[in-house]
Amino acid sequence: MTEKKTKVKIGDELKWNTFIEHRKVHHHELLSAKEADELGVSVSSVLRERIEVGGAVLPHYHDVAEVIHITKGKVKLLQNGEWKSYKEGDTFLVPKGVVHSVANDDVEPTEQISIFIPVHEGIHNENFTSHMVDVEIW
């Protein structure tokens, strides 16, 4: 059996990749499907995305649900056929198959974390329990 270990991805060492299909959007993959499998969780991908001024994740939909958390700046979200303004700290819950888009609505680049979650019909998640351990801090 392989020993489980915590891994760290250093932010400054992650390469920004360009999303060809979107306008002025770059991303880092924080968690791949393979890494999620190794952790034993159902996640397709977790991305950190940056949208440049004048940029947008163009209208699209997925065969997975998506959770988008805005970490920097102001954006517009195409939500249920209407554009609405949101800001840093807001979170979007996008169901499977729903058309959505996020556009920079700021004077500098915006950033967000996007989590892509496979949809399983009939799933009823329970609240997780945190188990504390006695470990010296610092």
Task: Tell me the one-letter amino acid at 58.
Answer: L
**Backbone phi, then psi, for 127, in 5-degree steps?**
-65, 140
pLDDT tens profile 35-85: 999 898 999 999 999 999 999 999 999 999 999 999 999 999 999 899 999
- Domains in the chain (CATH in brackets) are 17-113 (2.60.120.10)
Greater confidence (5 vs 57) lies with 57
pTM of this prediction?
Answer: 0.87
Confidence label for 126 from pLDDT (cuts 50, 70 and 90): low
pLDDT at 17: 95
Arithmetic mean of pLDDT over the chain: 90
Confidence label for 124 from pLDDT (cuts 50, 70 and 90): low
Greater confidence (132 vs 26) lies with 26
DSSP letters, 23-80, are EEEEEEEEE-HHHHHHHT---SEEEEEEEEEEEEEEEE--SSEEEEEEEESEEEEEET
